[in-house]
Amino acid sequence: MERSFAEDVKQLGYGAGQVLRGEGILAITKALLQSGVSYVGGYPGAPVSHLLDVMADANAPLLEPMGIYFEMSGSEAAAAALLGASINYPMRGAATWKSVVGTNVASDALSHVASAGVLGGALVVIGEDYGEGASILQERTHSAALKSSIPLLDPRNSLQAFARFVEEGFGLSEACNEPVFFSIRIRACHMRGTLVCKDNVRPRIGMRSPLAAPSFSLERINLPPFTYAMEAQKFEHRLPAARRYIREHGLNEHHRGEEEHLGVVMQGGLWNTTVRGLHLLGLADVYGKTPVPLLVLNALHPLVPEELVGFMRGKRLLLVVEEGMPNYIERELKALAHEEKLDVEIHGKDLLSPHGEYVPHLVTGGLRRFVGLAGLRCQAGEAIEERYRALVDHREKVGAVLTRPVAKRPPSFCTGCPERPVFSAMKILRSKEPGVGDTHVAADIGCHTFSTQAPFNVGNSVLGYGMGLASSSAVAPMFGKRVISVMGDGGFWHNGLTNGVANAMYNKQDSVLVILDNFYTSATGQHPNPSTGTNARREPVAMTIPDALRGLGVRWIRTVNPYRIADFIGTLREALTTPTRGLKVIIAKGECMLERQRRERPRLRARAAAGARVVQPRFGVDPDVCTGDHSCMRLNGCPSLTLRENPDPLKDDPIAHVDDTCVGCGVCGEVAHAAVLCPSFYEVRTITNPGRWQRLLGRVRASVIRRLAAAT
């Protein structure tokens, strides 16, 4: 990890009254320290990675002196198991991960923690990776909270609110002896704002004030008969205690308004969107003051019947703004209204959308339909309609101007990425030797998932993190040729080692595994993993992928330089055709170029400035040699390999062009070579501050060449 978050770390040290400026996730991180946590862990993933990044940098200067234990866990399961510390000992702790996928990985440990219950407050900060910008399948975490009786907080969006609800979260957890989910959406994580800080609290139990004696109690062991008692506990004591806490601490907000015959119930995280919708329809001022009664549920589970009934009583119409399905809140309200025989008409998914992120135009549209049904005292229907039309009328005209749809921008590999050439190689082998190379490819989670996108479209399935190999277990035996599975080093260490490799070895799978070892878990932002050589606390570790493979009995292992495409094709061909049965592993080893450039570029610039000899390669295309068929783009897809207008007055088609973001990895030349495309590419090494001898040689060569060139 070359990046540093020094500025953020400094702010984590702020005391009472100081004003922190930064993103939502930083406020949450600060609030953990203000809550007196003894330990923090988690697995990186958007949108919550930053919590771990900052904690990692804060470990030495801030966490260790306070006696707080920090780890970047091996997986979300390990992070959830970390919370086990709070089962027996009254210490506060937090874990974080990307949800829903991380919660899925964590759920075994999580269920056990939730069943045994906790003495010390345990908070799980889940980054709800849902809607625009999400990189995973679209599910909500709500149901996980319900099944395990884990209270779920979804606070309204302001840094101050985030900090408050982290602290309340610990209080809630200790009041009901359950771990608590603190859910935060993507845009909220990245929201920049200010937080008025409190002092950090040194934990009572910490590495500086360790425990003396173990605590044992059969009631906390997840075995029958105690598990039955634990289940009873949840519903007889823990959830009721949680409801009591939520009510007494006013976690949910009931805003009254003149339009008493109607009301809007919403998830706290959707407060901003909802009041903006009301504002645009002329039903709220810019501060969110509105005549429409609102119930803002910052705590989504457990719901507090008294609060809901209290809000519904006397109303004719209700709108529930609830993102995701199933619509638990709407159903709960309908059930309660029925039990209490309230004459209230409850709308939600019918006026909004049953699925998808609740973006403003969707919520605004729903509110408009709702007030249309309800009728308002303060506003004439026409006025509202007019405001709504002002928002949407222009949209009909788009088609007339943009007759052709704007091209999509699928995410792809960075300039110089060591993973891209692996898929160039696979695509070349697929087209040139379909008998061998045109086979099933099980893709995995990571940057390399982009191999499934243009221009490669390599990868027939994506199943889960580190699951690539396992996902081909039943495909391999069904195929007339060997199949390929892909895995990154991140996925390998997270899950692939056991569920992938061990499983394949155990079941004698005869197939090929390509491991992309770029030294970091890059997709989440170049996070350290065992391949990095250090952990998140910068402590050296000696774990390597080949050693791990050998330990599991893998014998056919080849490590190749992915930038040498011809070599890679050769190795892949061998793996796919060798008579040797069993698992064959190719490790494509090359450092993440993004990380490498982050480190090298400034270093080289400094050396050059200091007068040292610096060699910088990059590639180019001869414009008069390129015929503009773009075959190179279809096999390469490097961002720096782009188009430019054809300088030739007799030709129409744009030609290839390498722009100055090129880092000279050499893949365009290698692709042109391996696929026998064209002679347009050349490499040019720029030698800054050359030696005297080299300068002289260069001058001699140049003059000879000039003479020859003139002799035509």
Partner 1 sequence: MSDPRLVSILIPAVGGQGGGVLSEWIVEAALADGVLAHSTSIPGVAQRTGSTSYYIEVFAGGTGEAPAFSLYPVPGALDVLLAPEFLEVGRAIELGFPSPSRTTIIASMHRLYSIHEKIATGRGIHPIEQLEAAARAFSRSLIAFDALAVAREHDTEVNAVLLGALAGSGVLPVRADAFRAAIERKGVGVTANLKGFEVGLDLALRRDAPPAPREAAPAPSPNVARFATAIAPFPESLQPVLAEALARLVDYQDRAYAERYLARLRPFVDADVELAGLVARHLAVWMTYEDAIRVADLKSRAGRLDRIRREVRARDAEIVVTDYLKPDLDEIYGILPYRLVAPFARWAERRWPHGRPTLGAHVRTTTVAGYLRLWLLARCRRLRPISYRAHHEHARMERWLAAVAKCAERDFGLAREVARAAQLVKGYGDVRRRMTVAFEHLVESVLAAAALEAGRGDGFGVSTGLAGRYRALVLGGPEGEAPAASLAARVLERLRAADRRGALELLEAPRG
Residues 167-226 close enough to bind partner 1 by CB under 8 A: 185-188, 190-193
Is 397 a binder of partner 1 (CB under 8 A)?
Answer: yes
Instruction: Give the closest residue to 299 by CA, choosing from 245, 349, 352.
Output: 245
Instruction: Give the closest residue to 564 by CA, choosing from 433, 663, 487, 674.
Output: 674
**At 581, which helix (H) or strand (E)?**
none
Is 692 a binder of partner 1 (CB under 8 A)?
Answer: no
CB nearer partner 1, residue 332 or residue 659: 659
- Residues in contact with partner 1, counted by CB under 8 A, come to a total of 112
Report DSSP letters for 325-380, one per residue. Answer: SS-HHHHHHHHHHHHTT---EEESTTTS-SSS---HHHHHHHHHHHHHHH--SSS-
Is the bond into 326 cis (omega within 30 degrees of 0)? Answer: yes
The binder of partner 1 chosen from 249, 276, 558, 607 (CB under 8 A): 276
CB nearer partner 1, residue 244 or residue 256: 256
Q: State which of positions 547-576 bind partner 1 (CB under 8 A).
A: none
Instruction: Give the closest residue to 171 by CA, choosing from 22, 328, 299.
Output: 299
Cβ atoms of 513 and 501 closer than 8 Å: yes
Residue 679 CB, shortest distance to partner 1, in Å, is 5
149: exposed, middle or buried (C-beta count within 10 Å: 0-12, 13-18, 19+)?
buried
The binder of partner 1 chosen from 443, 620, 647, 665 (CB under 8 A): 620
Q: State which of positions 289-348 bind partner 1 (CB under 8 A).
A: none
Q: State which of positions 450-469 bind partner 1 (CB under 8 A).
A: 450, 453-455
Binding piece for partner 1, criterion CB under 8 A, among 111-119, 483-491, 543-551, 669-677 = 669-677
Is 414 a binder of partner 1 (CB under 8 A)?
Answer: yes
Helix%, strand%, coil% for the chain, nearest 5: 45, 20, 40
* Residue 44 CA to its chain's centroid (Å): 8
Binding piece for partner 1, criterion CB under 8 A, among 66-74, 247-255, 357-365, 465-473 = 357-365
Q: State which of positions 7-46 bind partner 1 (CB under 8 A).
A: 46
HSE-up (13 A, CA, CB side) for residue 682: 10
The binder of partner 1 chosen from 343, 382, 539, 652 (CB under 8 A): 652
Q: State which of positions 82-141 bind partner 1 (CB under 8 A).
A: 132-133, 135
Binding piece for partner 1, criterion CB under 8 A, among 163-171, 242-250, 272-280, 481-489 = 272-280
* Residue 597 CA to its chain's centroid (Å): 22
Residue 480 CB, shortest distance to partner 1, in Å, is 21
- Tell me the C-alpha to C-alpha distance, in Å, between residue 267 and each of 323, 328, 514: 8, 11, 44
Binding piece for partner 1, criterion CB under 8 A, among 78-86, 90-98, 99-107, 690-698 = 690-698
- Tell me the C-alpha to C-alpha distance, in Å, between residue 299 and each of 246, 250, 311, 441, 659: 7, 10, 15, 43, 51
CA end-to-end distance (rounded Å), the chain: 56
The binder of partner 1 chosen from 157, 183, 252, 267 (CB under 8 A): 157
Is 403 a binder of partner 1 (CB under 8 A)?
Answer: yes
Cβ atoms of 48 and 27 closer than 8 Å: no
Is the bond into 541 cis (omega within 30 degrees of 0)? Answer: no
CB nearer partner 1, residue 342 or residue 633: 633
Residue 27 CB, shortest distance to partner 1, in Å, is 13
Residue 107 CB, shortest distance to partner 1, in Å, is 26
Binding piece for partner 1, criterion CB under 8 A, among 226-234, 343-351, 491-499, 616-624 = 616-624
Residue 414 CB, shortest distance to partner 1, in Å, is 6
Residue 13 CB, shortest distance to partner 1, in Å, is 20
